[in-house]
Amino acid sequence: MVLFSFKGFTQSKKIKILKADNTMVDPRYPGAIVSLGNVFIEHEGATLRCDKAYIYQDQKLIKAMGNVIINQGDTITQYSKYVDYDGEKKLATSWGDVVLKDELMILKTDTLFFDRENQHLYYNCGGTIKDTTNLLKSKLGNYYLRTNKFQAFNHVDVTNRDSKLVSERLDYFTKTGVADVYGPTTITSAENSIYTEKGHHNSKTNISHFLDNSKIFYGDRTIAGDSLYYNRNTEYASATGNIIVLDTVNDSVIRGGYAEYFKNKDSVYVTDRAVAISALENDSIYIHGDKLMVTGKVEDRLIKAFKRVKIFKSNIQAKCDSLITEEKTGITKLFINPVLWAEGSQITGDTIQFVSNKLTEQLDSLYVRNNGFMVKKDSAGYSQLKGKNMFGKFKDNSLISLDAVGNSETLFFLRSEDDELFGIDKKQCSKNILILLENNDLKSIDYFQMISGTTYPPSEFEKLSEDQKLLNGFVWRENERPLTKDDIFIKDKPLEDTKEKSPKNKEKEVKKTGNPKPKQKPSRPTKKPPLKK
């Protein structure tokens, strides 16, 4: 074929018939020289062999047939049954079991066209290209000799020992093994399958970069993003922009702006507005952190969240510094300054743990370890429950009981059925205090091994100092509560800046830092503020 890749048949350089068993002029073919048997033709360094040839010097036309072989040096050889070359149009047409070979590939088709001006080979009746790595099939194909670029259209199929690529359009470079795909494309291997609508795939290095609606499908996970990078050698993938990590087994999804996946470690790392969403009885739970990690195999999968962690569910919200969820057991653990809001109550402790029933997909129980504290706002103040540890139970995803165990204290506002305040209960127990909740209200309180306590009439309670109205350790953190699933992305101020401290804590701060009042200019004396009732 490279015979026609030179400047062509010019008037000054005629076609040379180097050999033929018989050469003649046949009146049936005016203007033609007919060569028969072992025909050997040369033109500008390229040779053509065939069984029979018609050579029209004036029209710059060759018609060759029967075992046609074209050679250009030692680099390119083409076999076919027939070849026509039109020197005026600079177009060669070969047909009949066409095979083109060079140092990099073998091309097979039934009919092959060559535009020698642009060094462009193409077919439109189906063809294949085989190189050291891949076998490519397509309905339409272009091969550019100068760049070793193959362009395929319509039902493109690229296979090798490790994977199979199916696309509607593909640009393939035989030297590098790089394929640029356009339109709906799938790449399937034993490890996974990939879908993309635009991308760059290196079949020799097994490193790919995909754009436009790209997804990687594993047996139990799907990873999608605006941009996907994938290294098949290390089973590493990264996604950027609107990423989605779908866990089909545990019915959960993680969204964010950036993700990394390590198959050998069974782990996914997500940042940039990362949120894990798990379905619980048609009421999804949202978990956000600056960083999210999903680790472990399907049967032992963990979700880990770090820094500024927030949780939102319609009837339960939470915040902490770090979190671990065990999807197998349904256990979620909150660490470092955790706070949980449920049934109108705020619950804090050193560590908070709640459990979801994997069968019913409902919240089951709650455990607060060390410094357990519950606060419930009342129109007259704050109802409070305190204990070393706390144990709670849920029913229909609603908190129905809370048991404070060890050095328990309580301060509750007691109301009649008409919601009239008639007393404030402040008591202590060495063992535990159990409260029952119903419809977001206090139903009953049970005390065990009471040590001391007092029930104040409202008028007497008003006379107490602010410090006496709050249990030691009281902090009201309502301003940190996410009220919608979008609020989980709000970055709160550090806890020390947002605490509502008890009067006792405020006094300690004054002693530590000095007079908290700003200094006043002598020319502007100020009045003392009135005392709070």
Each residue's pLDDT expressed in tens, for the chain with a length of 533 residues: 333 333 333 343 677 889 999 999 988 889 899 999 999 988 766 788 999 999 998 887 889 999 999 887 677 889 999 999 776 777 889 999 999 988 888 999 999 998 877 888 999 999 998 988 889 999 999 989 888 898 999 889 989 888 899 999 999 888 888 889 999 999 998 888 999 999 998 878 889 999 988 999 988 789 999 999 999 889 899 999 999 998 877 778 999 999 999 988 888 999 999 999 887 666 788 999 999 998 888 778 888 999 999 999 888 899 999 999 887 888 999 999 999 998 788 999 999 998 888 777 778 899 999 999 999 888 888 989 999 999 999 888 788 888 999 889 999 888 888 888 898 988 888 888 888 888 767 788 888 877 788 889 999 888 888 888 899 999 999 999 999 999 999 988 765 544 444 444 444 444 444 444 444 433 333 333 332 32
pTM of structure: 0.74
Residues in the chain: 533
Q: Are 304 and 293 in contact (CB under 8 A)?
A: yes
Select from 96, 122, 148 the last residue of a domain. Answer: 96
Count of the separate structural domains present in the chain: 2
Question: What local confidence, expressed as pLDDT, does residue 529 receive?
Answer: 33
- Let me know if residue 317 belongs to a domain: no
- Let me know if residue 319 belongs to a domain: no
Select from 96, 113, 142 the last residue of a domain. Answer: 96
CA distance 213 to 219: 19
- Let me know if residue 128 belongs to a domain: no
Q: Which amino acid, one-letter code, is at 361?
A: E
- Let me know if residue 235 belongs to a domain: no
- Let me know if residue 395 belongs to a domain: yes
- Reduced to 3 states, what is the DSSP secondary structure of residue 56? strand
Question: What local confidence, expressed as pLDDT, does residue 13 receive?
Answer: 62
Question: What local confidence, expressed as pLDDT, does residue 307 receive?
Answer: 93
Select from 62, 96, 130 the last residue of a domain. Answer: 96
- Let me know if residue 271 belongs to a domain: no
- Let me know if residue 347 belongs to a domain: yes
218-224 long-range contacts, CB within 8 A, separation 24+:
218/191, 218/192, 218/263, 220/247, 220/248, 220/249, 220/298, 221/245, 221/246, 221/247, 221/248, 221/261, 221/268, 222/246, 222/248, 223/259, 223/261, 223/268
- Please state, in angstroms and as integers, the Cα–Cα distance from residue 136 to each residue in 28, 96, 106, 172, 423, following that order: 44, 20, 10, 9, 85
- Let me know if residue 112 belongs to a domain: no
How open is the CA angle 99-100-104, to the nearest 5 degrees? 130
CA distance 352 to 340: 8
Of 383, 290, 311, 412, residue with least CA distance to 354: 311
Instruction: Give the residue numbers spanning the domain of 370.
Output: 338-514
The CATH number for 447's domain is 2.60.450
- Please state, in angstroms and as integers, the Cα–Cα distance from residue 97 to each residue in 65, 69, 112, 129, 470, following that order: 12, 12, 10, 14, 94
